[in-house]
Every structure is written in C-alpha cells, then in structure tokens.
Chains A and B, each alone.
Chain A
C-alpha cells in the first residue's frame, strides 16, 4: 500500500467513526441520563458517565407510572398497523406490478396525491370524520389512520420488490398446476419475504414513533401511545428527565428487538436486486 492510500483509508475510517459517534450520541445520552440519580443530574451535567448509577427511574416508570399502559397501547397500534399495512400493500403491490387494469393510472395518481399534503393540514378533517364514528380516543381509530397513511408508500415499496421477481416464475407455477393465488402464495411470497420484512419494519417504526395524530386524536390516558405518554413527564414546572429517559430506553427495546429479528431479511431485501438468482 502506498502512503497516499493509507492516509485515504485512515481518513475514510475516521469519517465513518465520527458519523457513527454523532448518530449514536443522543442514544447514549438518553441511556446515561436514565441511570443518573436525580441529585447528580445537574451537578454532573456534562460528565460522560455519572459517578454513581441507579435504576430508580426504571423502577418508578415500570411500577408507578402509566408507562406500561402506554407501552401496551403502542405495541397494539404499531404491530396491528404494520401487519395490516404489509398485507394490504403486498396484495396491492402485486396487482400494481403484474396486472394492467382500467383506472390503474388514476389509482397510482391518487395514491401519490395522498403523499403530497402535510399531515397537519389533514388533522382537522380527519378528526371531524372520526369523531361521529366514535373512533377518536380509541386505538382502532389510530390504527385506521396509520394504515391509511402508510398503505400508499408501502404499496409502492412492495411493488418494486414484486417487479424484481420474474413473471416467468408464477407462469411456470401456473402451468405446473397452481392457480394465480397459489402461485402468489407458494412461489412469489416466499421470494418477497425480505421485501415484506423491510415494509413491516418501516411501518412499525413509523407507527411506533408517530406523535402528531396520537396527540390530536387521543385525549385520555387509556388510549395514549408511548410518544404521547412521554410528554406526561413534562409538568408545568419541571421536566422529570430521569424518568423520561428511562421510559425512552424502554421504548427503544421493542424497536431494537424487531430490527434484530428482521435484519437478516432486511439486508437480503436491500441487496436483492444485486444478486442474480
């Protein structure tokens, strides 16, 4: 290796390291505050790690706050949204990828249109629609809204995965004796699993961290999701940083676990086009 190349490699690694540190630092800070006792919070404000660590905040959050309820609500909302959206967008994406039908152009156009407006604009009308249906202040209402907003993008995402699978495969299956749906289920779906995992993960995290609709459509504690719940640690006179961060750390766990389980598919999915089958 020449000197120049060594320098370039080192510079490259340093740049990556700097970026990773920059990206992960907030997470580290959340973790650090969550284990810092309240009396050290300000006195050791800028130390990288407190001189004494405690788990009191976690204890409080789990045993004495409404956080477990928020957590449960968030799980229900995010998982339901992710599963429903993935199923709908798989079916929709397959249709977009394989069939030409009347009105396809307009349907695609409408789906794009829904992505154009800032969500804030839509909150009032959506509230107006959901309210008489009794869907405000309920998890089902929230799921409905999340599904509606995530389906268009997820459909385009799934369509691109289906486009990557040769038509010949399902034609071969159909000649082998499968109906179109059997071919879809037994041949195409297994090959699209990485794509579905990517969609599932994408929608799950989007729903998990959604604040705007959750805040506007839900007013009671019973149906609050965790991002809304986090705000309850902010009171009129103070912010309970320790508990808030402890709740944040706990909220990170499902997202991390989720990605841990699907990452194998995710990497496959993101590189699927690069490998010739």
Chain B
C-alpha cells in the first residue's frame, strides 16, 4: 500500500487542454472518488496515474517515488476497467493469475493467491470458465479478483459499475466497499454517478472542465458545496437554485427573489449590496405545508411519488421549486400550498463567480 501525490498535473493534446493543474494527495489506505460529468478529465487523470497517458506537466508520485517516466507495469498498481477487459482466451483462473505469471511467481504461490481471491469474491466454482460464459456481475468480480491477487500499491477503478443494471450495481457497490474495508488498500475510483461517490468515498474529488472543484468528505460536499457546480452536481433530486439580489443595508441580510419575495439569511454574506447571488436549497430541506410562518404561496404543478418519498414540483415567484418529502399525500396537483426555506439550510453563491459566500 502506498500514498499517491499529484502535484500540478496537466494534460494537453496539442492545443486542447484537458487538465489545468491538479493537486491532490491521497493517503495510504484511503478511498478517493473522482466524480464529475463526462469529459471533465477524471478518467484522464486516472489513466495518467496508471501510466496509460503521458503526463504533459507536473508530477505524480506513488509511495513517494516519482512515476512520470515509469511504464504501467513498473508502477505496481492494479486497474479495473469499465469494460472489465478480461482476456477472452483465458479462463477465470488464467485471467486472475496472469499478472503473477508475468512476474514468474512460484506455482504454489499463484494457486494460493488466486484461490484466496476467488473465495473472497465467491468465484471458486467458476475458475475454469471463460469470460464469455459469465454474467456481467461475475465478469465484474473476476476483474476485481485480477486486481487483488497481486496486492498492488493502489487500486484504480474506471467506472467499474457503469455496465451493470441498477440492482447489480447497488450490490457490487456494497462488495467494493466491503473489499476496501477488508484490504484497506489505497483506491482511486472514477465515476460520474454521485450516489456511488457518496456511498464509497472517504474523500470525494469533484471535477469539472479539467479543474478540481472541491475535495472533501462526502457529507462536506453535500452539506457545504464550495461552488454552484458542486452544489448542482451532488444530490438527487438536484438542489434548487434561484437567482436574486443581495440586500443588507437595513441590517437584515436577505435575498430578493423577485415578485416581492425575499428570503432572510442567517447572517451577512461577504459581498456588496446589490450583488447578483444564487440561493440554493436542497429539495429535502424545503418545507411544504398549508400555513407556514415565513413561507410563501406556491402552486403544485407535478407530484412524483418515488415510493420512498414524494417529489413535489411547485411554482412560486416565477420559478420552479422542488421539494422532497418522506410524507405521502402532502399535496395534490393544482393545490395552493405554502413553501418555506429554513434559514439554516440556505446556501448562498455569488452568481458571477459561482463561489460559495454563505
């Protein structure tokens, strides 16, 4: 196991810049998830750590040793691919032992290593099968088995669950987390799925357009997103965002949302009077009721029952307000209700820069 240090790493294909200087330190044994929309550079960063892409500038160290110039085979890392990348002409046992055979490991050691891994992943009855004869979930487990047999310094996962159906994905997510708890291996996991990121990560690295937006624990990112991108990306249903104007001259800091509605803030924000700001509030924090103090009128446009709870879409002050409630039958379509934004749940962002200001 080892730590991974990434210092001002950049990637450019000719004039097209993919990564604009990433700094990140991953502790020994930590599970870090790189999350972001397609094309944000997260996979490129992972492939640079693996040695599959050249590093245009900056430095990557694994276990304190600079690896920029090392071939993938000399970096002592294992990777699980989205496509699993199992060798079709080898059996499960052959796939799992390939790395050890390349290293000329003794036969008995190989047998012990693969049977140990197979047991851990319940692959024992499948060892003589070829990948063609396996289901998606089984292939996924073989790919993981191939990674764990040789006890590498770090595990890299490139969207490993994207090809599975929803139920299996949930199951494998649990298995990956369990495996990490068992092995305590340094892991970097790339995904565009924020639920995977939230559930798996010790720390999440949110990326957009080749820039790291925020690094922190899952709940940090969820509760205190550093900017509009993170606020909008993390969480489903997504955070409500309303543009307004910051007012504080009379000693009562608030955001004017238009149509005479203004929402009071807990304290003054570090910005000038009249600045365009964005108010963010998560749907589960929006209160919905018949009469709410400090609330304002809204008409229910759409009711989406999820079974687990209900998503209500309401229109108020010319905007669409989403609310999520565990309660059923809170309102029907066409109802006029009150919605309220509890002051301690409000996020404030500077609309121009996107940065969090309160």
Contact = CB atoms under 8 A, between A and B. Distances in A.
A177 interface: yes
Nearest to A172: B85
Interface in A172-191: 172-179, 182, 187, 190-191
A166 B163 CA distance: 15
Contacts of A109: none
A267 B75 CA distance: 40
A63 B99 CA distance: 57
Interface string A153-166: 00000000000001
B87 A171 contact: no
Contact of A171 (B52, B77, B98, B131): B52
B87 A174 contact: no
Contacts of A176: 73, 78, 98-99, 102, 146, 150
Contacts of B146: 172, 176
A191 B73 contact: no
A39 interface: no
Interface core residue of A172, A182, A187 (most chain B CB under 10 Å): A172
Contact of A277 (B51, B98, B102, B131): B131
Contacts of B103: 177
Contacts of B51: 174-175
A178 B50 contact: no
A175 B73 contact: yes
Given A175-B73, A179-B73, A166 B99 contact: no
B79 interface: yes
Interface string B62-91: 000000000111010111011101011100
A190 B132 CA distance: 16
B52 A174 contact: yes
Contacts of B132: 277
Given A277-B88, A277-B131, A175 B77 contact: yes
A174 B71 CA distance: 8
B96 to A, nearest CB: 10
B79 A172 contact: yes
Please tell me the size bucket of the interface on B: 20 to 34
Given A191-B88, A277-B131, A175 B72 contact: yes
A190 B72 contact: no
Given A178-B73, A179-B71, A166 B98 contact: no
B89 A190 contact: yes
A171 B72 contact: yes
Given A168-B81, A178-B73, A178-B102, A173 B52 contact: no
A179 B72 CA distance: 9
Contacts of B73: 174-179
A169 interface: yes
Nearest to B99: A176
Contact of A177 (B52, B82, B89, B102): B102
A171 B81 contact: yes
A166 B79 contact: no
A173 B87 contact: yes
Given A175-B50, A277-B132, A169 B85 contact: yes
B112 to A, nearest CB: 18
B83 A166 contact: yes
A191 B83 CA distance: 17
Contacts of B81: 168, 171-172
Interface in A99-157: none
Contacts of B87: 169, 172-173, 187
A277 B71 CA distance: 28
Contacts of B98: 173, 176
Nearest to B77: A175
A129 B100 CA distance: 52
A175 B131 contact: no
A166 B85 contact: yes
A276 B214 CA distance: 39
Interface core residue of B77, B85, B102 (most chain A CB under 10 Å): B85
Nearest to A187: B87
Interface in B321-355: none
Interface core residue of B75, B99, B103 (most chain A CB under 10 Å): B99
A182 B23 CA distance: 34
7 contacts: A166-B83, A169-B85, A171-B79, A175-B72, A175-B73, A176-B78, A177-B99
Interface of B: 50-52, 71-73, 75, 77-79, 81-83, 85, 87-89, 98-99, 102-103, 131-132, 146, 150
Interface of A: 166, 168-169, 171-179, 182, 187, 190-191, 277
Given A171-B81, A177-B103, 7 more contacts: A166-B83, A169-B87, A173-B87, A174-B52, A175-B73, A176-B98, A191-B89
Report, nearest first, the 7 A-B pairs whose CB atoms are least far apart.
A168-B85, A176-B99, A172-B85, A177-B102, A174-B72, A177-B73, A277-B88
